[in-house]
Amino acid sequence: MSLLERYCPRVDFASAEDFLENFRLNIPEDFNFAHDVVDWYAEHEPERIALVWCDDGGDELILNFRELRRRADQTANFFKSRGVRKGDAVMLCLKGRWHFWTCLVALHKLGAIAVPATHMMQTKNVVYRLERLRFKMILAAHEATLMQNIRAAIEETGQDVFTASVDGAIDGWDDFNALAAEMPDRFERPAKGSPEATTLREFILLYFTSGTTGFAKMIQFDHAYPLAHIATAAFWQECFDGGLHYTVADTGWAKCAWGKIYGQWLCGAAVFAYDYDTFNAAEMCRKIAHYRVTTFCAPPTIYRMMIREDLTGIDFSNLRHTVIAGEPLNPEVYRRWLEKTGHRLFEAYGQTESVVSVATTRWMDPKPGSMGRPMPIYEVGLMSTDGEDRLCERGETGEIVIKADPLNPPPGLFRGYRDDPALTERAWHDGWYHTGDLAWMDEDGYLWFVSRADDMIKSSGYLIGSFEVESAVMQHPSVLECAITGVPDPIRGQVVKATVVLAKDYRPPEGSAAAVEAHHKKLMKELQDHVKSVTEPYKYPRVVEFVDVLPKTISGKIRRVEIRQEDNLKVAREQE
């Protein structure tokens, strides 16, 4: 019996219906991913590759499970020597460093709470986290601005937090590598029932949300969360025994947990990690080919950049499956990726609060732009937005909801927003977790994303979903990226606005401001006419703004809330 079959008794399904009806997880009450998965491999298959890591400087590290366990045990003993105990919080700001994997495993062994965080935090972001959650320790990669911001935040809050750098002793930061190397290389599992032993419903992981729509919330997960990612890795990403999976994600983002550790190792696949300083689409493609990556996952932003590259001569023959998530897939990206690589893109949907909940699986033909069908790990529905608390009919737009008891949620679903019961109750009531995302279901049971509930645009009595307009705009060859938002309008209430990053060949020529304005005006008319020709004319963007970059989270998600806030301020100033 494979490790996967131990926790997922049946892995061979004949159809999507068979999968939906018969998928089950076996989750022991004392399950601990570090002990029951990592240590199991280290004892039974020590030479099995766990991690293949590289960076832009030519450094490379390949860890099998024996070596991974040794380093993780030293790290666990280091944490323990510094007073980290079960339930304590440790912030990991490690960018793409290989240390993330040994630290996460070590914290799971202790039963401590790992709090991954982006290396792009400003001082105010660190202060916010320190004020919301008391940390025992902060580990960071050597990013000068990040380290300065953390130091400034600690001074501002007056907290006593131990700090260490995984890149050596730097400006008062302790040398994590040297300290951990001095520790014993075995960490024994605490006896069952002892105070140090972990239980299933204790917390091991906490994320501050990426903040696309407001202040970051604290989302917490228990020991069942890693096993729930079997659904993510085995049945959407198609990870397999002996494969090498690459998910493009910074370690500070929950997508890392989706694609860079739990489900992949449970499937027997190794994880590929590329710690790049500056994103380069062509170089990423070369890394995929060189290391013979077999399954690949990235957000639409990455695919948009990759399809703009000349991929001639890059050998993708080892790729078996490519998937996409993070934002809805524009059909144009699907078509171009298929043309260039021969691979279809299999879309999925989920949130930081969950594992994959809707997906296009192997038994389904992808419908470009559709996220797929509900996964069996959750009971997913669409709740009417008319206030009547009823499930929607086919073709009717509603809010994506997951049926769950907040006191006993299904595996992989978050356990509420930490220290915020009011927010938890607003999102989780009447037996359903409310995602805040709107979609509709077609006659085949596929779900189609419409928008975030707060991204809906109400213009002249029409209700317009931002994603449909974005998809239309993205079909135009001049557009590299686009965000659709609503702008306040005294007559129509709101009008549709497109904020556009132009493709290289369509950027305005150098010249006078008048020449640039004329170029943009011509393109704006082309884009407006194009949208009118491919969707209902009333949905066309009456306002088009050309920018160099779109505001984004570290995970690559477009922060439409920031665009809306800036436009609201402009309107307010004009009305003064």
Kindly indicate the confidence band of residue 457, based on its pLDDT and cuts at 50, 70 and 90: confident
Tokens of 184: 């014993």
Phi and psi at residue 196, to the nearest 5°: -85, -20
Question: Which residue would you say has higher pLDDT here, 105 or 209?
Answer: 105
pLDDT recorded at residue 452: 76
Instruction: Provide mean pLDDT across the span 170-174.
Output: 88
Residue 172 neighbours by CB under 8 Å, 6+ apart = 151, 163
From 153-157, 256-260, 326-330, the region with the lowest mean pLDDT: 326-330
> Residue 500 sits in which domain range?
456-575
Instruction: Provide mean pLDDT across the span 364-380.
Output: 95
Residues 442, 447, 448, 449, CA torsion sign: positive
Report yes or no on 166 lying in a domain.
yes
Instruction: Provide mean pLDDT across the span 215-225.
Output: 91
Q: Note the pLDDT tens digit of each residue in 143-154.
A: 889 999 999 999
Kindly indicate the confidence band of residue 556, based on its pLDDT and cuts at 50, 70 and 90: low
Report yes or no on 507 lying in a domain.
yes
CA-based nearest residue to 128, from 149, 107, 144, 104 = 149
Q: How far is CA 449 from CA 187, 291, 395, 397, 545, in A?
A: 46, 34, 12, 9, 24
Report yes or no on 397 lying in a domain.
no
Report yes or no on 107 lying in a domain.
yes
In the predicted structure, residue 212 carries a pLDDT above the cut 50: no
In the predicted structure, residue 215 carries a pLDDT above the cut 70: no
In the predicted structure, residue 27 carries a pLDDT above the cut 70: yes
Phi and psi at residue 515, to the nearest 5°: -70, -40
CA-based nearest residue to 232, from 467, 556, 4 = 4
Contact 49, 268 (CB under 8 A): no
Report yes or no on 263 lying in a domain.
no
DSSP, collapsed to helix, strand or coil, labels residue 76 as helix
Q: Note the pLDDT tens digit of each residue in 278-288.
A: 899 999 999 99
Report yes or no on 430 lying in a domain.
no
pLDDT recorded at residue 461: 64
**Residue percentage of the chain with pLDDT more than 90:** 73
Report yes or no on 525 lying in a domain.
yes
pLDDT recorded at residue 345: 97
Report yes or no on 15 lying in a domain.
no
In the predicted structure, residue 129 carries a pLDDT above the cut 70: yes
Q: Note the pLDDT tens digit of each residue in 28-80.
A: 999 999 999 999 999 999 999 999 999 999 999 999 999 999 999 999 999 99
From 362-376, 453-467, 510-524, the region with the lowest mean pLDDT: 453-467
Instruction: Provide mean pLDDT across the span 366-371.
Output: 92
Instruction: Provide mean pLDDT across the span 300-315.
Output: 88
Burial class (CB in 10 A: 0-12, 13-18, 19+), 162: middle
Instruction: Provide mean pLDDT across the span 532-537.
Output: 84
Tokens of 519: 């170029």
- CATH code: domain of residue 537: 3.30.300.30
3-state secondary structure 346-376: EEEECCCCCCCCEECCCCCCCCCCEEEEECC
Among 181, 205, 222, the domain boundary falls at: 222
Residue 442 neighbours by CB under 8 Å, 6+ apart = 367, 370, 394, 395, 448
From 43-52, 152-161, 451-460, the region with the lowest mean pLDDT: 451-460
Rounded distance between C-alpha atoms, residue 8 and residue 228, angstroms = 10
Which amino acid is located at 63 in the chain?
Answer: L
Kindly indicate the confidence band of residue 213, based on its pLDDT and cuts at 50, 70 and 90: very low
- CATH code: domain of residue 91: 3.40.50.12780
pLDDT recorded at residue 575: 66
Question: pTM for this structure?
Answer: 0.84
pLDDT recorded at residue 330: 77
Instruction: Provide mean pLDDT across the span 462-489.
Output: 86
Among 180, 201, 222, the domain boundary falls at: 222
Q: How many domains does the chain have?
A: 2
